[in-house]
Amino acid sequence: MIGREQRKNNIEQNKISIQRKRVLSALASYIADLYNPQLPILPERIADIIGISYNYGNYEDYFDGMLEHSNGGFHIYLNVDKAPSNSPRSRFTFAHELGHYFINEHRQALELGLAPSHQSFTNFQSENIVELEADYFASCLLMPEDRFRADCLGKKFSPQLIKELMDRYQVSASAFLLRYTFIENVPVMVICSKGNKIAWKWESDDFEFKYIKSLSRSIPSISATAEFYAKGIEYIDPQNLYAEDWFNYISHEPNTFGIKEYCIYAKRYNMVLTVIWY
Ligand SMILES: [Zn+2]
């Protein structure tokens, strides 16, 4: 196992240099164009073509996915206890494992026996560089740069765009938003919360506000997200708020800087993915 993932409260994609991101994105695009010119990208299809075997099984909490090297061949295990086969999360995990195969340094570590197998967790919270690289590769493989850019061209960031492209690329909201903010440079913050507590957040480099108005990781009380936890209200459309409703230390006069808050609800899990932009 190459460094099991350590959990952290923040996404730190910034740990991968811009140069390295370009290399990984180009590699992923090349593979997507070569093996899967149509959308959506099918990791199973790519594995079939290059001769990597795989199976879906019940592995409880042990891992999301695992790439194993034995007898000169590679095998990918996918855990249906974490995500049903072909769900956005399972597809991402599959693409992540393919990353460990296609990224030379990762594959060589397995081939040289430095790591007999590689267990992965797909939750966007790793701080291990090998995991981050595989995650980044996975997002670039499922959303190849040129096609993704063309689909975003001239379209405003909106719930409709999120839904349309999640559907087209068969990816989760988190995966889509990470890719979108990197490609389009829209100032966006994404907050994942559960039971009114912030589980993790990340923001694009140019997002102006860094400090959420939060006590012990709670959601700010004047917000659409807080209304869901307090009263079960689910808004279909983005809500208009002011920066000071969500953030501390802002350099604007009160009631002058408008922000938009859009919630993607997972009622079953008492979770919300909150997207804030302006
Ligand atoms: Zn991994």
Q: Give the percent of the chain with pLDDT over 90.
A: 69
Q: By mean pLDDT, which of 186-195, 199-208, 253-262 is the weakest?
A: 199-208
* Distance in Å, CA 133 to ligand 1 centroid: 9
Q: What is the pTM of this model?
A: 0.83
Cα separation values, 149 from 42, 123, 145, 185, 230, Å = 19, 25, 6, 12, 38
What is the per-residue pLDDT for 122?
60
pLDDT digits (tens, 9 = 90+) for 157-169: 899 999 999 999 9
Cα(229) to centroid of ligand 1, in Å?
33
Distance CA 192, CA 1 (A): 28
- Using the mean position of ligand 1's atoms as its centre, give its distance from the Cα of residue 24 in Å: 15
Kind plus residue range of the DSSP H or E element containing 145: helix 145-152
Asked if 226 and 219 count as a contact pair (C-beta separation under 8 A), the reply is: yes
Residues, CB-to-ion distance under 5 Å, ligand 1: 120, 131, 134
User: Does residue 8 have a pLDDT over 80?
Assistant: no
Encode pLDDT of 208-242 as tens digits: 999 999 989 999 999 999 999 999 999 999 999 99
Q: How far apart are CA 248 and CA 255, in angstroms?
A: 14
Cα(104) to ligand 1 centroid in Å equals: 14
Q: Averaged over 141-164, what is the pLDDT?
A: 93
pLDDT at 204: 83
Asked if pLDDT for residue 125 goes beyond 70, the answer is no
Residue 159 CA to ligand 1 centre (angstroms): 30
All structural domains of the chain with their residue ranges: 13-150, 187-277
Residue 13 has which token pair?
């994609």
The Å distance, Cα 112 to ligand 1 centre, comes to 17
Question: How many whole angstroms from 138 Cα to the centroid of ligand 1?
Answer: 10
Q: Which of the following CATH numbers is that of domain 13-150: 2.40.50, 1.10.20, 1.10.10, 1.20.120?
A: 1.10.10
Give the Å distance between the CA of 131 and the centre of ligand 1: 5
Q: Report CA-CA distances (Å) from 278 to 173, 213, 219.
A: 19, 17, 19
Residue 6, helix vs strand vs coil: coil
**86 CA from centroid of ligand 1 (Å):** 18
Give residue 185 CA to ligand 1 midpoint distance, Å. Answer: 27
Å from CA of 227 to ligand 1 middle: 36
70 sits in which H/E element: strand 65-70
What average pLDDT does range 12-27 have in this prediction?
83
CA of 45 to the centre of ligand 1 (A): 20
Span from the CA of 203 to the centroid of ligand 1 (angstroms): 23
Instruction: Give yes or no for residue 126 having a pLDDT over 70.
Output: no
